[in-house]
Amino acid sequence: MLYSFLKQSVNISPDAIVFYSDNYKCTYIELDEKVTILSNGLLQKGLKKGDRIASYLLNCPEGIYLYFACFKIGVSVVIIHPSFRDFEIRLLIENTQPKLLVTQLELYKNIQQFVNEFSSLKDYCYLIDCSHNENSNILPFTDLLDKTYQTENLIEEISGEQEAIIYLTSGSTGRSKCVQSNHKQYFSYLETYKTFQFNYNDKFLLISPINSLTGLILGILPAVRYGSTFYYLSTNLPSKQYMKMIPPVLYEQKITYFFCISSTLRNLIEEIEQYTEKQYRKNFLRYCFVGGEKFSKLSSEKSRKYLGIYPHEVYGLTETSGPFAISADYPPICGRFKPLNETIKFRITNDNWEDMPYNTSGEITIYSDTIMTGYVNDQETTQKIIKNGWMKTGDIGYLESDDILNVVGRLKQIIICNGCNINLLELEETIRECNDVYEVCATSIPYMESEKPVVYVTFHSSHSINIVEDEEYLFSYLKGRIADFKIPLYIRILDVLPKNIIGKIDRKMLSEKALKEFTQHEI
């Protein structure tokens, strides 16, 4: 099914550019030709509908060819983000047992020590940047691009129920899980983009890697679905250098749409401010989507100043194949959402799946055609959160009388201190309003038979740090703005906050750090 989007755009605009980068561009007809050759090569190597291929790549055209070749022949793609750590890669491969791995020499070195442990990959590891190797299980990707392969007669019809993608949840607040989604779920998700009337004049900017779920579902697939063009950058760069590359591309390439997480946009706005301060730059943006974390009114207004538009806050999960809700207002009000289309429904439920009254907080529960098939090899957890087409999100929120959804935070980000609820996200938002603060994360530790919040912050580079004075300043800043019982036990100032693979602050890692510090020093 998903391959049909490419075929449709080829038929309409075969010579239009589908994607490009600094030194490479590809038309729709050229992409389809590459996809046909590669799909024939995969079939020739014995791959068949229902098999799985692991893709572990930095940004490159081959990653795009591989997606659509797999979609064409009914092979699902196990996406290994280039920033995944060893244990995450092991978890994905162990659970999915892919028949073939496509990677690059630079990344292969990261997994060389353990990849041979997996029997399914023993003889099928292809590198896109090497020739024949003495190591028998390392093969050049060009072996899959032999134009003499003729296997079109082996291609079967692909149904909507056919598995398409397996991806790992970020694990920022808990255990990572392998999410399994099919063609129909992504097809339904892409139909929600009709609202935005994308067309062949639009240019998408991929800020996320090609080899990521975000890059695929919020960039590549919608661009191809609507005959648009997408631009990608190199991803093997330090984050600060990468950020500096984006403003010139945004303006010079006349980008009309991009998506990024909230913290990335806050950082990007600073780079845009510096880039445009000496010279006027015309902005062509029609849409900017932001998600992953709450995006404050202050950040929204600053974005409006430098982007020319307000970002649309979107809300979704890996388990829902992407966003299912968008800002209910324009200008947007942080955390207030409406469904992306009329087929998506919201409920607020308690632990027994019973509906809560309007304006009463509970767990956000959604109904959508985009909800995942389930967690791979974890039917028990799947059945706990999905019931009769409805899925519990793990987020807390409430519905207004007109069914507008207000997202309060994660269930795991509400703690109880001496019988009182403390919303860690509210604490973060309050601290983030301090002009000198760059990033903030609130977590908690067990304290006197209860819980107590602790906070980690970083300051803007222009701020001269004095640890003692800055911590005292932040405490005094909070005391006039929040209730005393919400004041954190301590505040730590760091050079950087750890991030997970999609660039969100790694709350799990900071929680472990806080617990370790508390245990060691008995604060």
pTM: 0.84
Domains and CATH numbers, the chain: 3-182 (3.40.50.980), 237-344+372-410 (3.40.50.12780), 418-521 (3.30.300.30)
Check whether 172 has a pLDDT greater than 50.
no
Residue closest to 247 by CA, chosen among 268, 219, 225, 218: 268
Check whether 135 has a pLDDT greater than 70.
no
Residue 317: strand pairing partners:
322
Using DSSP, how many helices (H) and how many strands (E) does the chain show? 15, 27
Give the pLDDT confidence of 16-28 residue by residue, as tens digits. Answer: 999 999 878 999 9
Three-class DSSP category at 435: coil
Instruction: Give residue 123's pLDDT.
Output: 58
Give the integer Cα–Cα distance in Å for 283 and 306.
9
Q: Strand order of the sheet with strand 138-140?
A: 138-140, 125-127, 100-103, 52-56, 76-79, 163-168, 178-182, 374-375
Across the range 281-290, mean pLDDT stands at: 91
Give the integer Cα–Cα distance in Å for 168 and 79.
8
Q: Show Cβ contacts of residue 35 under 8 Å, excluding neighbours closer than 6 positions.
A: 3, 6, 65, 68, 69, 72
Check whether 237 has a pLDDT greater than 70.
no
Instruction: Give residue 485's pLDDT.
Output: 82
Q: Residue 32 has which token pair?
A: 């389809």
Instruction: Give residue 193's pLDDT.
Output: 84
Lowest mean pLDDT among 390-394, 420-424, 489-493: 420-424
Measured in whole angstroms, the distance separating CA 196 from the mean position of its chain's CA atoms is: 20
Check whether 323 has a pLDDT greater than 50.
yes
Residue closest to 229 by CA, chosen among 63, 32, 13: 13
Measured in whole angstroms, the distance separating CA 237 from the mean position of its chain's CA atoms is: 18
Q: Which residue has the higher pLDDT, 416 or 70?
A: 70
Burial-class residue 148 by CB neighbours within 10 Å (0-12, 13-18, 19+).
exposed
Q: Residue 141 has which token pair?
A: 């990707």
Instruction: Give residue 85's pLDDT.
Output: 81
Q: Residue 368 has which token pair?
A: 């959508």
Give the integer Cα–Cα distance in Å for 216 and 224.
10
Q: Where are the alpha helices (DSSP H) in 132-193?
A: 183-191
Instruction: Give residue 142's pLDDT.
Output: 87
Q: Which residue has the higher pLDDT, 173 or 144?
A: 144
* H or E segment to which residue 201 belongs: none
Residue 62: pLDDT band with limits 50, 70, 90: very high
Instruction: Give residue 450's pLDDT.
Output: 73
Half-sphere exposure of 518 (CA within 13 A, CB side): 20
